[in-house]
Amino acid sequence: MAQATFHFPRGFLWGAATASHQVEGNNKNNQWWAWENEPGRILQGHRSGLACDWWGGRWREDFDRAAEGGHNAHRLSVEWSRIQPAPDRWDENALDRYREMIRGLIERGMTPMVSLHHYSDPLWLTERGGWENEAVVSAFEKFVRHVVEALREYVSLWVTINEPNGYAAQGYVTGSMPPGQNNIRLGTQVMINLLRGHAAAYHAIHQIQPQARVGLAINCTSLLPARPWFPLDTLLSKILTRHLVEFFPNTVRDGVARTLLGKRRVPEAKNTQDFLGVNYYTRRHVAFDLREIKTLFARQFFPAGADLSYTGFLANDPQGMFDTLKWGVQFKIPIIITENGVEDPDDRLRPRYLVQHIHQVWRAVNFNYPIKGFFHWTLVDNFEWERGWTQRFGLWELDPETQARRKRPSADLFAEICKENGISSEMVARYAPEVFQKLFPN
C-alpha cells in the first residue's frame, strides 16, 4: 500500500480543550453547582463533585498525559467564582494556582489558550441578575483586567466568552441550562450583554497586552433545511443560523446587532475579534413544526442513517466541519477550531470521527483558509453539564468515583497526528480502516 500523508502547516496548534467547572471539582460558589443541586436538572441526578480533581492537583498528571500525547497547546478556562468569590474580594491564592497550572503547560511545551468565561458565573453575580443585568458588563471587564494583569507574562491567546450563543440559547430558549428560562426577550437582552461584555474585555485585554490575540468561541452547530424544497424549512434554517451561529461573529465585525427583536448599534463591539473560534461538533436538520412552540417552531433532528454517537447526541458529519470553515473565511481573520469531539465511551466511533474531521480541516487548509489550530474536546472524560457523566468525550476514560484514568485508543491516534503534524494513510489503516477508502480513494 502506497504511503500518503496529509500534512499541516508548521506551527499548527494541536491540543485538547477543557473548562473549569467541568474539570476542577468542588466549584461550589457558582450557579452551576446550585443548579446541580436542584432535583431533575441533571440527567440521572449526576453532580460535578470532584470532576477530574484538577483543583486537587490532578492537572499535573493530566498535563503529563497531554504532553506525552504530543499536544503543543491546551485550552482551559479560569473560574470567575474562585478568583472573585465576592464582589469586593479577590482570591490571590486562586490566581496563584492558575499561574502554576499555566506555567505547568508551558514547562511541558504547550501553548496556553485561556477562556475567561465558560458557562459558569459566580453566585453573587447570579443574585444580581447575571447576564440579564447590564451591570455585568463592567463587572466582567473588572474581572478580566484582574486576570489578564495576573497572567499576562504567560498567556497571550484569549477566548473572552465560550459559546455566548449556547449560553443564551440553552439558558433562555430551551431552558436546559441555568437559569432555565423560555423567554426570547430576556435571551436577547442576555445576548446583547454578552456581546458588550466581550467588547469591554477585548479592549481591556488589548490595553494591557497590545500583542494579545482575542476572540470568541462560537457554537457552530449548523442547520440544514430538512426539506430543501419547502420554503418554511429553508426560511427557518436561515433565521436560526443567522441568530444563533452568525449573530456574534457578524456583530463583532459590524458593530450592529441584528436580533430577533430588531436592530441595535453596539459600536464598541466593532472589530473586536482577532480570530474566529469555531466549536464544531455536528450538523442537524431542521423542519418547521407547529408543535415546537418553545423553540420557534423548529424541530431539529439527524437524518435517517446518520452515524450517531453513543447517546444519539451528535452525528458524525465531517462535511459540516468543512462548510463551517468555509463560512468562517468571510471574516478575514485567522480561524482556530476551539472544540471538536464526540461522546463515545467505548471509542468505537471516535477514531473515525477524529480522522474524518481533521481530514476536512486539512482540506480547508489546502484552500488556504487561515486555520491555525485544532483543540479536541476533551482530554479526560468530564462533567458534561445537564447531561452529567452520561456522555464521555475524553481521549482518556475517567472513573469519577476512583479518579482512575484509562487511555482510549483515540489518545494514541491523536498523539500520532500531533507528532506527525498530519494524518498518514498508515494511521487511518490502523485506527479507522472503515473510512480508509473515503480518505484515500484507490
User: Which residues lie near ligand FCB (CB under 6 A)?
Assistant: 19, 22, 162-163, 166, 219, 279, 339, 377, 384-385, 393
The contacts of residue 348 (CB under 8 Å, 6+ apart) are none
Tell me how far, at minimum, the Cβ of 18 lies from ligand FCB, in Å. 8
Distance separating alpha carbons of residues 138 and 197, to the nearest angstrom: 7
Strand partners, 74: 16, 112
Burial of 85 (0-12, 13-18, 19+ CB in 10 A): middle
Pick between residue 122 and residue 388 the one whose CB is nearest to ligand FCB. Answer: 388
Helix (H) / strand (E) containing 357: helix 350-366
Pick between residue 143 and residue 385 the one whose CB is nearest to ligand FCB. Answer: 385
At 93, is the secondary structure helix, strand, or coil? Answer: helix
Pick between residue 8 and residue 377 the one whose CB is nearest to ligand FCB. Answer: 377
| Residue 442: other Cβ atoms inside 10 A | 3
Pick between residue 29 and residue 48 the one whose CB is nearest to ligand FCB. Answer: 48
**Which grid coordinates belong to 161?**
466568552
Helix (H) / strand (E) containing 436: helix 436-439
Pick between residue 172 and residue 393 the one whose CB is nearest to ligand FCB. Answer: 393
Distance separating alpha carbons of residues 38 and 110, to the nearest angstrom: 38
Tell me how far, at minimum, the Cβ of 385 lies from ligand FCB, in Å. 6
Tell me how far, at minimum, the Cβ of 53 lies from ligand FCB, in Å. 18
Tell me how far, at minimum, the Cβ of 277 lies from ligand FCB, in Å. 10
Q: What is the dihedral of CA 390, 394, 399, 404, to 10 degrees?
A: 180
Strand partners, 17: 75
Contact by Cβ (8 Å): 373, 12 = yes
The contacts of residue 219 (CB under 8 Å, 6+ apart) are 163, 165, 166, 244, 245, 279
Tell me how far, at minimum, the Cβ of 353 lies from ligand FCB, in Å. 13
Pick between residue 162 and residue 209 the one whose CB is nearest to ligand FCB. Answer: 162
DSSP states of 127-190 as a string?
A: HTTGGGSTTHHHHHHHHHHHHHHHHTTT--EEEEEE-HHHHHHHHHTS--STT----HHHHHHH
Phi, psi of 54 (to 5 degrees): -70, -35
Pick between residue 233 and residue 246 the one whose CB is nearest to ligand FCB. Answer: 246
Distance separating alpha carbons of residues 408 and 442, to the nearest angstrom: 29
Tell me how far, at minimum, the Cβ of 271 lies from ligand FCB, in Å. 25
Pick between residue 98 and residue 377 the one whose CB is nearest to ligand FCB. Answer: 377
Pick between residue 124 and residue 377 the one whose CB is nearest to ligand FCB. Answer: 377
Tell me how far, at minimum, the Cβ of 20 lies from ligand FCB, in Å. 10
Tell me how far, at minimum, the Cβ of 131 lies from ligand FCB, in Å. 16
Tell me how far, at minimum, the Cβ of 343 lies from ligand FCB, in Å. 7
